């Protein structure tokens, strides 16, 4: 099965409708990721036959839970989940943040080459990032333990905003270590076609004072 067929079938299985042009742009992002991977080590996943499921579908699995407004992707690395979300949701304003300047350079290049005007890139540490306005959602795929994630990025989340933390197995131990300043809204089990093993999305918000 070609990557285009994998993507189309995967989206259908997940109940996500994206037009052909959007799907082509997602595959163009994947091609860029692997083109630059040889130089910048953007992904540890060498098998490109698993790239659609592990990079695109895995990122897009959280799409139904992403609110409108401004999204911050912390520790974006090669751009997941931020770039696939930005491609699927042109209305979303997405900021990709990574402390690695090489990875940030790739993210900037990818946004330019793919014509993604709804993406901005910041190279730096999340705790030192102080933009003019905050974010309605902050996501991370492989950034840190939940307690560190919410503590380091709390100043960036607007009132009523949510953290969207992507995890593998149900992270009960991490949930138990959350600070009192954060509260769990839900833990969703995600079914991602082609991805073996558990995937979960932890939705968190600031605790009421």
pLDDT tens for each residue of the chain, 209 residues long: 999 999 999 999 999 999 999 999 999 999 999 888 877 777 766 667 788 999 999 999 999 999 999 999 999 999 999 999 999 999 999 999 999 999 999 999 999 999 999 999 999 999 999 999 999 999 999 788 999 999 999 999 999 999 999 999 999 999 999 999 999 999 999 999 999 989 999 999 999 86
Q: Which CATH architecture has domain 3-206?
A: 3-Layer(aba) Sandwich (3.40)
Total residue count of the chain as it appears in this document: 209
Helix (H, G, I), strand (E, B) or coil at 161: strand
Pairing of β 70-74 and β 93-98: parallel
What's the pLDDT at 99?
Answer: 95
89 marked among binding-site residues: no
Hey, which residues does 206 pair with through a beta bridge? 182
DSSP class of residue 69 equals S
What's the pLDDT at 2?
Answer: 94
Pairing of β 119-123 and β 200-206: unpaired
Phi, psi of 162 (to 5 degrees): -130, 145
What's the pLDDT at 44?
Answer: 66
What's the pLDDT at 39?
Answer: 74
**124, two tokens:** 């730096």
Helix (H, G, I), strand (E, B) or coil at 187: strand
Hey, which residues does 96 pair with through a beta bridge? 73, 121
159 marked among binding-site residues: no
What's the pLDDT at 49?
Answer: 76
127 marked among binding-site residues: yes
Q: Is 73 exposed, middle or buried (0-12, 13-18, 19+ CB in 10 A)?
A: buried
Buried b (16+ CB within 10 A) or exposed e, 31-64: ebbbebbeebebbeeeeeeebbbbbbbbbbbbbe
What's the pLDDT at 143?
Answer: 83
Compute the distance between CA of residue 181 and CA of residue 179 in angstroms, rounded to an integer. Answer: 5
Give domain limits for the chain: 3-206
Residues 82 and 119 sit within 8 Å (Cβ to Cβ): yes
Residues 137 and 81 sit within 8 Å (Cβ to Cβ): no
Compute the distance between CA of residue 161 and CA of residue 71 in angstroms, rounded to an integer. Answer: 10
66 marked among binding-site residues: no
Name the pTM for this structure. Answer: 0.96
């Amino acid at each position: 099965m070609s990557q285009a067929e994998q993507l189309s079938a995967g989206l259908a299985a997940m109940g996500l409708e994206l037009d052909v042009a959007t799907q082509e742009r997602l595959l163009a992002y994947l091609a860029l990721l692997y083109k630059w991977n040889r130089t910048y080590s953007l992904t540890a996943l060498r098998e490109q036959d698993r790239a659609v499921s592990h990079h695109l579908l895995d990122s897009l699995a959280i799409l139904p839970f992403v609110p409108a407004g401004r999204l911050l992707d912390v520790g974006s690395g090669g751009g997941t989940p931020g770039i696939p979300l930005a491609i699927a949701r042109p209305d979303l304003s997405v900021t990709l943040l990574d402390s690695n300047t090489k990875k940030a350079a790739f993210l900037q290049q990818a946004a330019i080459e793919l014509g993604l005007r709804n993406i901005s890139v910041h190279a730096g540490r999340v705790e030192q990032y102080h933009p003019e306005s905050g974010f309605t959602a902050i996501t991370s795929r492989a950034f840190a333990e939940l307690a560190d994630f919410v503590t380091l990025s709390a100043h960036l989340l607007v009132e009523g905003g949510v953290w969207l933390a992507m995890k593998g197995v149900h992270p009960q131990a991490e949930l138990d270590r959350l600070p009192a300043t954060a509260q769990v809204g839900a833990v969703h089990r995600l079914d991602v076609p082609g991805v073996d093993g558990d995937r979960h999305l932890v939705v968190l918000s600031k605790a009421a004072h």
